[in-house]
Structure 1
Amino acid sequence: MDTKLDIRSDIAAEQSRRAWATSALELIRAEKTRGTHTPLVPFSLPVFGEIDVYLKDESSHPTGSLKHRLARSLFVHALCSGDIGPDTPIIEASSGSTAVSEAYFARIIGVPFIAVVPRTTSQEKIDLIERYDGQCRLAEDSTQVVTEAQRLAAARGGYFMDQFTFAAQATNWRCDNIAEELFEQMRNEPHPLPQWVVVGAGTGGTSTTIARFARYNGFHSRLTIVDPEGSAFYDGWRMKDTTITTTTPSRIEGIGRTRVEPSFFPHLVDEVLQVPDAASVAAMRWVSEQLGRRVGASTGTNIWGTIQLAQRMNQDATPGSIVSLICDAGSRYTSTYYNDAWLTDNGINIAPYTAALRRFERTGTLAVD
C-alpha cells in the first residue's frame, strides 16, 4: 500500500471539494446581488395620529418569506464550515417556510434536499418545496421533526441543516442583515428610531439578530416577541429558563415552539406578548383587508401585538414609531387559515377577535368581549 499515493489522493479530493464549495458560494452571492432590500411599508392606524407603524415586507423575497434570509445564511455557514459537498443531501426539520427557501438554495448549488415537516403543514407549502425539486417527509407528531431529520440525515449520509440550533450562529448580526436594513430604511421617517420592534419567534434567529444589532449600534429601540398558543418562548422569557417545554405544538405556522430553541436568548428580549391563535387569524384577515393583499397568520400575530403596543403608547401620550414584519404571503394558507371549514375543524373561533378589531377601528381601543 502506497501511503504517499493515498495522501495525494486525499489532498486532491479535498481541493476538489473546496473548489466546488467556492463555486457554490459564488452562486449564492450572485443570487443575493440580484435582490434588493425588502420594502418598508407604512401601515396606517388613523386612530393613533402620533404613532407611525411600518411593516417590513419579507414576503417580497424570491421564495416569499422571511426565511429566505435564514436559508441563505445557513447554506453559507455550512459551506464555509466544510459540511456540504457536491453530493451531500441536505436534510431539514421545518414547519414549511424555511424548507421552501432551503429547497430553492439547494437547487441553485445542485444538491438534493429533503424536508421533514409536520403532517399539518399546508399543502401550498409542500407544493412549493417540491416545485424547487425538494422532497417532503411528513411527521405525524410535529414535536418529532428534529429527531426524524437527524435519523434521516444519518441514514442518507446527509447533512442536517438544523435551523433551530444554527440560526443565531449563521447570521451576521453586525451588518448585512434584516436589522441593518430596517434601521437604515427608517432614517428619514418622522420618528426614525422605533420605540418597539415586534417579531415572532420560530428559531429565535431574527429576534436575536435585531437585539444584538441594536445594542451594537447603541440604539435604544425595545424588542417585543409575540408568541402563539402552545409555545414555550413566553414562559422561557418570563422565568428566564431555557429548559421549559410545552406539550401542545403551535398552530401558527412558522412561529412558536414546544421548547426554547438554542437561538432564542430570553435576556435580549424586552417583552413577550402571548397572542391567542384566533386573534392571530382574525388580525391576519383584518390586515389583509387594509393592505389589499393576503398575508400569513404569523403576520397577524405581529399585528395583534403591534396594536397593543400602539394603544399603550397612545394612552401614555408617547409619540413614536413601531416596526414589525410581513412574514409571508397568504397564498400559502388558502386551504387552512383562509378556509372557514378548516378553522371550525380546528376549534378556532375568530368572531370575537374580528369584532374587537372592528371596534378598534372606531375607538382606538382593542378589547375582546
Structure 2
Amino acid sequence: MSWNARALDVLAAGPPTPLIDFPVPGPGIRLLLKDESAQPTGSLRHRHARALFRQAILDGLVTEGTTVVEATGGNAAVAQAWFARRLGLPYIVVMPGERSEARARAVEELGGECRFVTPPPAIYDAARRIDGHFLDQFGRAAHHDLAEELFAQVRPDWVVTGAATGATSATLGQWLRSHAADGRPASGVARGPAAAAHGRVVAGGGEWRCRVAVADPDNSAYFPGWTLDTPDYATGMPSRIEGIGRPRIEPGFHPDLVDLVIPVPDAAGVAAARHIREVTGLPVGGSSGTALWAALELVERMRAKGETGTVVSLIGDAADRHLKTYHDDVWAAGKGLDVGRHADELRRRTSV
C-alpha cells in the first residue's frame, strides 16, 4: 500500500460524537448539544484539521516527508500536530506573540515545533516563508464531515455554531443546499431572510426544514459584515472569546450559506459556558457558551411563534484550563465582564 493510501486510512472519520439533551422549558422544543469535546483532541478543530490534511494529500500538496506548516494560536495547532504525528510528518506552527510555555506544550508534546512571532499579524507571512506546505486554515476551503454525521443522528430545525475560519458554517450550509428540496444548487442561493425559503431539504428518505445560524461575539466582523452584505468588512479588534470571532471576514466564511448571524455579548457567552458546566459537568470555553446563548434565543423565538422542533448547538473544547478563565470570577471581572446579569437571564430561559 502506498503512503498516500495509508495516510487516507489514518484520516478516515472516527465514531460520531454524542448529542446531549439540554433542558429548556415548555413542550415541543428540544435543544441538543453536539459534543465535539469528545474528539481525540477535544475540539471542533479536530474535524477541520483532518479535512485540511486529507484535501492536501488528495491535491498532491502533501506527500511522505512533507513539512506541514500553520499559523494559529489555538486548538487548531493541537489538532494538526496530532494528525501530523500519526502521519509521520514534521509539523511547525507559527503562533502570535511572545513564547508561552503553556501554549507550546500541548503541540510540542505531540512532536510539533512552535515558533512565536510579533506582531501577531505577521504570523501568516512568517508561515509562508517556511519550507513546507502551508495548510492555511483561514484561506483554504476544506469542508469536513460534520454535516453527514449530524444529519444522520437528528433532523434539526436549526444548527448553531460559532465562526472562526467559517469552515463549519460553510460545511453545514453546503450540505443543506446540496440536499435542497427544490433542487436549487448551493451557488447563487440568497442569504439572510431570503434563504429561509430554501430551508427544506431531502435526505434519508424524508424531508424537513433546517437552517444554519452563526453566533458571533463582541468585536467580530461576521455579524456586521453579514448584515450589511459587505464581504470585506473588518473591525480590526480582537475577540475575547477564544476560538471564534475574527477582526475581518475570513475567506472560508460564505454568507450565502448562512441563514442567520446572531450577535452575542461576551459576558453572555461566558455565563452560558458556566451554565453548560452546571448542567453537563463539561468545563467548556466561551465559544461553546456563545453558541448556546444564540441557540436559546432561537428557542425563545420558536416558542413565541408557537413552533415546535429541534435546535442543535455545537460545543467543544472542554478543558480544565477554562476553570482559570471563563469559569473564574476574578478573571471575568478583570476583563470587565458582568456575568451575573446574564446568568440570571439564563436561569429564566432554561428553568424547567
Is TM > 0.5 for Structure 1 vs Structure 2? yes
Quote the Cα distance in structure 2 between the aligned partners of 1:266 and 1:97.
24
Instruction: Kindly provide the amino acid, as one letter, of the partner of residue 345 in structure 2.
Output: A
Quote the Cα distance in structure 2 between the aligned partners of 1:347 and 1:340.
10
Between stretches 88-97 and 235-244, larger displacement belongs to 88-97
Aligned to 2:37: 59
Aligned to 2:148: 180
Quote the Cα distance in structure 1 between the aligned partners of 2:287 and 2:98.
16
CA 1:325/1:125 → structure 2, altered by over 3 Å: closer, same or farther?
farther
Structure 2: 5+ residue runs without aligned partners?
181-200, 202-208
CA 1:277/1:63 → structure 2, altered by over 3 Å: closer, same or farther?
same
Query: Is 2:171 aligned against 1:209?
Result: yes
Q: Does the aligned pair in 2 maintain the 1:313–1:319 contact within 8 Å?
A: yes
Q: 1:170 aligns with which of 121, 129, 142?
A: 142
Report the TM-score when normalising by structure 1: 0.82
| 1:26-78 Cα deviation digits (max 9, x unpaired) | 24423536x21111222121x13210011111111111111111101111111
Pairwise CA RMSD: 2.2
CA 1:340/1:124 → structure 2, altered by over 3 Å: closer, same or farther?
farther
Aligned to 1:149: 124
Quote the Cα distance in structure 1 between the aligned partners of 2:99 and 2:320.
14
Query: Is 2:204 aligned against 1:229?
Result: no
How far 1:94 moved relative to its partner? 1.9
Instruction: Kindly provide the amino acid, as one letter, of the partner of residue 149 in structure 2.
Output: E
Aligned to 2:10: 30
Instruction: Kindly provide the amino acid, as one letter, of the partner of residue 71 in structure 2.
Output: A
Quote the Cα distance in structure 2 between the aligned partners of 1:161 and 1:248.
25
- Percent identity between matched residues is 40
Q: 1:43 aligns with which of 22, 47, 53?
A: 22
Count of aligned residue pairs for this structure pair: 325
| 1:187-207 Cα deviation digits (max 9, x unpaired) | xxxxxx322111111111110
Q: Does the aligned pair in 1 maintain the 2:94–2:123 contact within 8 Å?
A: yes
Instruction: Kindly provide the amino acid, as one letter, of the partner of residue 345 in structure 1.
Output: G
Query: Is 2:297 aligned against 1:339?
Result: no
Aligned to 1:7: none
CA 1:101/1:119 → structure 2, altered by over 3 Å: closer, same or farther?
same
Q: Does the aligned pair in 2 maintain the 1:28–1:72 contact within 8 Å?
A: no
Quote the Cα distance in structure 2 between the aligned partners of 1:38 and 1:121.
33
Instruction: Kindly provide the amino acid, as one letter, of the partner of residue 23 in structure 2.
Output: S
Q: 1:314 aligns with which of 281, 303, 319?
A: 303
Instruction: Kindly provide the amino acid, as one letter, of the partner of residue 29 in structure 2.
Output: I
How far 1:208 moved relative to its partner? 0.7
Q: Does the aligned pair in 1 maintain the 2:291–2:313 contact within 8 Å?
A: yes
Aligned to 2:255: 266
Q: What pairs with 1:106-117 in structure 2 (closer than 5 Å)?
A: 106-117=84-95
How far 1:233 moved relative to its partner? 0.7
How far 1:163 moved relative to its partner? 0.4
Quote the Cα distance in structure 2 between the aligned partners of 1:256 and 1:170.
19
Structure 1: 5+ residue runs without aligned partners?
1-18, 187-192, 365-369
Structure with higher Rg: it is 1
Instruction: Kindly provide the amino acid, as one letter, of the partner of residue 249 in structure 1.
Output: P
Q: Does the aligned pair in 1 maintain the 2:162–2:216 contact within 8 Å?
A: yes
Quote the Cα distance in structure 2 between the aligned partners of 1:347 and 1:170.
37
Aligned to 2:184: none
Quote the Cα distance in structure 1 between the aligned partners of 2:100 and 2:150.
30
Query: Is 2:139 aligned against 1:160?
Result: no
Report the TM-score when normalising by structure 2: 0.86
Q: 2:82 aligns with which of 101, 104, 120?
A: 104
Aligned to 1:80: 58
